[in-house]
């Protein structure tokens, strides 16, 4: 038998505790979206972008990390411009093989703390990143994992087709999708374009 008093107390506790729990996680908006985009466009960031690309293709693995830290510390550049530069630079990274970008750099980007927070469309008192650097880093890494799985699947399909069939089973979505992509890639190589 349920006691209405206990239910009311439990409801009250949940209602009182929710702001305490979420207040530590929430970030407040610090930019208007239009003003943030305007601040990013107002600065010609080609020199910052060129410096990052140059460091990426240099023979010194630490050069890129040094450029990223320099960009983060650059006081004369507003945060929206810095984060916009990071996203434009990351478009370059997604076309590179996984080993070309130092793990330290990807860890730095994956742990990025957004500085340009705009109001959430559904909850204007909650800030969300305008430039989603962390999410872009995760997307790049997911793309690399997918490509590696497809390549491994193509090799397995060519060399041991029966073993390949054993790997295609219900499981993580990325494995099944990668297996499908590997099979399609193998058919394309074997049969030519359709």
Structure confidence by residue, pLDDT tens digits, 138-169: 999 999 998 888 888 888 888 887 777 676 65
**185 pLDDT higher than 70:** no
pTM of this structure = 0.73
Tokens of 61: 């693995």
From residue 29, how far is each of 24, 37, 39, 111 by CA, in Å?
Answer: 15, 14, 16, 20
Are the C-beta atoms of residues 161 and 193 closer than 8 Å to each other?
no
Residue ranges of domains in the chain: 24-131, 146-191
Smallest CA-to-CA distance from 132 within 97, 90, 73 is with: 90
- Confidence band of 20 (pLDDT split at 50, 70, 90): very low
């Amino acid at each position: 038998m349920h006691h209405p008093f206990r239910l009311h107390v439990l409801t009250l506790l949940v209602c009182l505790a929710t702001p305490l729990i979420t207040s530590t996680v929430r970030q407040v908006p610090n930019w208007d979206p239009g003003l943030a985009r305007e601040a990013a466009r107002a600065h010609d960031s080609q020199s910052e972008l060129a410096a990052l690309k140059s460091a990426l293709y240099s023979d010194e693995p630490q050069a890129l990390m040094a450029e990223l830290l320099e960009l983060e510390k650059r006081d004369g550049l507003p945060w929206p411009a810095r984060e916009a530069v990071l996203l434009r630079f990351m478009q370059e990274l997604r076309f590179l093989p996984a080993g070309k970008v130092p793990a330290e750099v990807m860890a730095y980007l994956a742990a990025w703390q957004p500085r340009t927070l705009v109001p959430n469309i559904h909850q204007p008192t909650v800030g969300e990143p305008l430039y989603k650097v962390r999410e872009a880093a995760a997307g790049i890494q997911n793309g690399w994992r997918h490509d590696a799985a497809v390549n491994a699947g193509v090799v397995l399909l060519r060399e041991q087709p029966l073993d390949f069939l054993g790997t295609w089973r219900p499981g993580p979505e990325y494995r099944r999708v990668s297996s499908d992509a590997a099979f399609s890639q193998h058919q394309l190589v074997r049969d030519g374009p359709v």
